[in-house]
Chains A and B, each alone.
Chain A
Amino acid sequence: MEVPILKQGHYLIASIQSALTDADLSQLREALIERVGRFRARGVIVDVTALDVMDSFAVRTLRDIAHMARLRGAETVIVGIQPEVAFAMVQLGLTLKGVSTALDLEEGLAFLDRQTQLRIERGSGRIDRG
């Protein structure tokens, strides 16, 4: 199943609706990284609220997305990890080190706003946020 990617202002939002196969995940990664360039996005939000399991491949893919998007100039935040999923991930040692997380979509958007604002203030961002 293909994950829909929405463009919202300067951000891309990928909302995962159901359990994904490894191929789906790889496809999501490629699509997102490609679109970061195409839409000149500054932020990426991956919403995993619907997932009730997260295996090591999924976690690695999410981390890869974050790192790759950063190389392409966009900040990534993972939102909506369920408490049970978080607990299981930590027990398995899958802790998404170096990747930002937020409670839900709303928090993720607020986080990206703050993050991009900071970059502009530091003078490393693009000229204008519109």
Chain B
Amino acid sequence: MATKSKDTLPPPPDPQALSESTAALLRELVAHLRQNRTQLREEWARRITRAQLLTAMTEEEIFAEATSVYDNYVEALETGTFEALQAYARNLSERIIPRGVETHEVVGIVLLLRDVLARSLFAKYHEDFDKLNRILDAYEPAANRIANTVAVGFVQERERIIRQQQEAIRELSTPVLQVRERLLILPIIGVIDPQRARQLTEQLLRAIRTNRAKVVVIDITGVAAMDSNVANHLVQTVEASRLLGATVIVTGLSPEIAQTLVTIGVDLSEMATVGDLQGGIEEAERLLGYKVVPQEDVAPKA
């Protein structure tokens, strides 16, 4: 049987004729899909529920979305243009991503629709095998492109959201705090990449000027790893601060980081380092001429 069907496959016709006949077949296909819209759409929604996809959405929502995806799908098949579908896919992604819909679910439902439609084509043309073959030749590339478009749209939208959130985290993650007159602390938490290092330095320099800071304590307890790039950024930050007349004290170098820095041979000898944040602040207070004395040690006034 298999060999026979292979033998009956027509030789590839020339492209011009192919595209004409493809267009005619697609028209026929679209007419079929329009005619059976209600039934196919319901079948699709049923399959989605059965496959336990889109569990974050209610059945009504799934049906409503299924309807518009179906219509957009048929339209893309009919017109051969994907802009409308693309826009719809983006819009849909924007709505469903916050509800926790995963990539595999979106790809899954599109593939299900592809399957549902293909099955209806089998049912319709099962008596005319040759016609079925040609219909599928026309349908498959278009269907694949649609699946691609929707999946890519979804992933792009997700990436956009991720980028947006990264930016937001970056903004949040570099507070410059004044703890005393002319004393700033800059706690750094997380990964330092070149972009963040730049932003951090710029923010610190601006803060030094507005607060007229003399001493800055940079605490890197929250920095998990450091390589020569990050160390150089840190050195640059320290030097730039010095140009504005502020002394920088770096605190919280973990044993691992200290070992790494010595091993890779980064020269931090120009940098003032103190073990922990408390020590750093005490050192800074000393530089600024503060002296913190516990109350009971202060001699009572005569």
- Give the docked Cα–Cα distance between A74 and B240 (Å): 25
- Give the docked Cα–Cα distance between A95 and B244 (Å): 11
The answer to whether B236 and A101 have CB atoms under 8 Å apart is: no
A56-93 CB mask vs B (1 if < 8 Å, else 0) is 00000000000000000000001101011111011100
- Smallest distance from the beta carbon of B170 to chain A beta carbons, Å? 17
The list of the 7 closest CB pairs from A to B, nearest first, reads: A83-B205, A102-B245, A86-B243, A103-B245, A86-B240, A90-B240, A90-B236
The answer to whether A103 and B209 have CB atoms under 8 Å apart is: yes
Q: Which of A78, A83, A90, A95 contacts B209 (CB 8 A)?
A: A83
The answer to whether B212 and A83 have CB atoms under 8 Å apart is: no
The answer to whether B244 and A81 have CB atoms under 8 Å apart is: yes
Q: Which of B205, B206, B236 contacts A91 (CB 8 A)?
A: B236
- Is A30 an interface position by the 8 A CB rule? no
The answer to whether B245 and A89 have CB atoms under 8 Å apart is: no
The answer to whether B245 and A96 have CB atoms under 8 Å apart is: no
- Is A55 an interface position by the 8 A CB rule? no
Of A87, A95, A101, A102, chain B has the most CB atoms within 10 Å of the CB of A87
- Smallest distance from the beta carbon of A78 to chain B beta carbons, Å? 8
- Is B201 an interface position by the 8 A CB rule? yes
The answer to whether A90 and B246 have CB atoms under 8 Å apart is: no
- Smallest distance from the beta carbon of B218 to chain A beta carbons, Å? 15
Interface size on B (CB < 8 Å)? Answer: 19
Give chain A residues whose Cβ lies under 8 Å from the Cβ of B202: 83-84, 87
- Is B208 an interface position by the 8 A CB rule? yes
Give chain A residues whose Cβ lies under 8 Å from the Cβ of B241: 86
A83-117 CB mask vs B (1 if < 8 Å, else 0) is 11111011100011000011100011001000000
Give chain A residues whose Cβ lies under 8 Å from the Cβ of B198: 87
Q: Which of A86, A91, A111 contacts B244 (CB 8 A)?
A: A86
Identify the closest chain B residue to A108 (Cβ).
B245
- Chain B binding surface SS class: helix
Interface residues of A, Cβ cutoff 8 Å to B: 78-79, 81, 83-87, 89-91, 95-96, 101-103, 107-108, 111
- Is B239 an interface position by the 8 A CB rule? yes
The answer to whether A95 and B239 have CB atoms under 8 Å apart is: yes
Of B202, B212, B243, B246, chain A has the most CB atoms within 10 Å of the CB of B243
- Give the docked Cα–Cα distance between A107 and B243 (Å): 13
Given A86-B241, A90-B243, 14 more A-B residue pairs with CB atoms under 8 Å apart are: A79-B245, A83-B205, A83-B208, A83-B209, A83-B244, A86-B240, A86-B243, A87-B198, A87-B205, A91-B236, A101-B242, A102-B245, A107-B212, A108-B245
Of B198, B205, B241, chain A has the most CB atoms within 10 Å of the CB of B205
- Smallest distance from the beta carbon of B209 to chain A beta carbons, Å? 6
The answer to whether A95 and B245 have CB atoms under 8 Å apart is: no
Give chain B residues whose Cβ lies under 8 Å from the Cβ of A96: 243
Give chain B residues whose Cβ lies under 8 Å from the Cβ of A103: 208-209, 212, 244-246
- Give the docked Cα–Cα distance between A102 and B182 (Å): 13
B155-186 CB mask vs A (1 if < 8 Å, else 0) is 00000000000000000000000000000000
Give chain B residues whose Cβ lies under 8 Å from the Cβ of A83: 202, 205-206, 208-209, 240, 244
